[in-house]
Structure 1
Amino acid sequence: MTLEEFYKELSFVNASRENRTKYANIVLNDMSLFPKLIDILFMVNDKVSSRAAWILEFVCAEYIYAIVPHLETFTKNINKIRLDSSVRPVSKVCGFITEAYYSKKPNTIKRALTPKHKERIIEACFDWMIGDQKVAPKVYAMESLFLYGLDHDWIHPELTQILKQDFSKQSAAFKARAKRTLLKIKKSKAS
């Protein structure tokens, strides 16, 4: 399938879980489509890019290692994502990458994720935390930043400041997750 054909196919994606699963399975069954999915994802001013983001999330939830050959492109361009409907799934994919990196089990992400890739993810996560994002991207970002903060001393103090500063302005869901994250930061300092 050409990029144009795949683009046209993605225009039929809707927000239902069933539909997103169907298209994710198409990609999982033909991984030659994955680079095309990434290309469409970064057509950032096009509504089909959001549909590509939804599919990317589902593909990566099922098989995070699909992104490994594309980490450079993905991390280099995540800061360009602006549409709300794209930011949430992209922030979740960053969370999947981070979780795999901090997994106790050896895996491909641990070997492939470079300091530059991590730096770009961290930067994007901080942008989502301080930007005018909805709760979900902020939650995925704070979870990723907590983990990266285990290796980078400067992250937890910055994250703590942002969480405390934003606390009163945010929703109950944000507050609950922020409290949990602040508690985890406190516990990590104690150990």
Structure 2
Amino acid sequence: MTLEEFHKELSFVNASRENRMKYANMVLNDMSLFPKLIDILFMVNDKVSSRAAWVLEFVCAEYIYAIVPHLDTFTKNINKIHLDSSVRPVSKVCEFITKTYYSKEPNTIKKALRPEYKERIIEACFDWMISTQKVAPKVYAMESLFLYGLDYDWIHPELTQILEQNFQMQSAAFKVRAKRTLLKIKKSKALKKS
């Protein structure tokens, strides 16, 4: 399938879980489509890019290692994503990458996630935290930043400051997650001291 054909195919993706899973399975069954999915994702002003983002989230939920050969391209371009319907799934993929990296099991992401890739994800997460994004991308960014903060000493203080400054202006869902994250930061700080 050419890039143009796949682009046309992705224009039929809709918001239903079944539909997104159908297209994710199409990619999972033919991994030659994955680089095309990434290419379409980064056609950031094209509405089909959001549909590619939805499919990417489902592919990565099933098989996160599909993104390994594309980590450089993915992390270099995530800051270009701006459509709300693309930001949420891309922030979720960043969270998948981060959680896999910090899992206790040895895995390919641990070997493949170079420092510059982590830094790009961290930068994107902070951008989502301080911008006018909806709650979901902020929640995924919060979780990723908490985990990276276990290795980068400067992250937890920055994240704490953002959470505390924005607390009153945010939704109930944000406040619940922010409280939980602030508590986890306090606990990790206490563990480092002991």
Q: Which category describes the TM-score, using the shorter chain as reference length?
A: over 0.9
Paired residue secondary structure (1:44): coil
> 5+ residue gaps in structure 2?
none
Structure 1 position 30, deviation (Å): 0.2
Partner of 1:25: 25
TM-score normalised by structure 1 residue count: 1.00
Separation in structure 1 between the aligned mates of residue 189 and residue 75 of structure 2, nearest angstrom: 29
Partner of 1:54: 54
Render the CA deviation track for 1:56-101: whole Å, top value 9, x for unaligned: 0000000000000000000000000000000000000000000000
Partner of 1:6: 6
2:67 is matched by which residue type in structure 1?
Answer: I
Partner of 1:41: 41
Q: Does 1:65 align with 2:65?
A: yes
Where does 1:134-149 land on structure 2 (aligned, <5 Å)? 134-149=134-149
For the aligned residue pairs, the C-alpha RMSD in angstroms reads 0.2
Separation in structure 2 between the aligned mates of residue 119 and residue 110 of structure 1, nearest angstrom: 15
Paired residue secondary structure (2:136): helix
Separation in structure 2 between the aligned mates of residue 111 and residue 100 of structure 1, nearest angstrom: 11
Separation in structure 2 between the aligned mates of residue 115 and residue 86 of structure 1, nearest angstrom: 25
> 5+ residue gaps in structure 1?
none
Separation in structure 1 between the aligned mates of residue 18 and residue 181 of structure 2, nearest angstrom: 32
2:157 is matched by which residue type in structure 1?
Answer: P
Structure 1 position 54, deviation (Å): 0.0
Question: What stretches of structure 1 move > 2 A for 4+ residues in a row?
Answer: none
Separation in structure 2 between the aligned mates of residue 56 and residue 131 of structure 1, nearest angstrom: 23
Q: Percent identity?
A: 88
Render the CA deviation track for 1:19-57: whole Å, top value 9, x for unaligned: 000000000000000000000000000000000000000
Paired residue secondary structure (2:58): helix
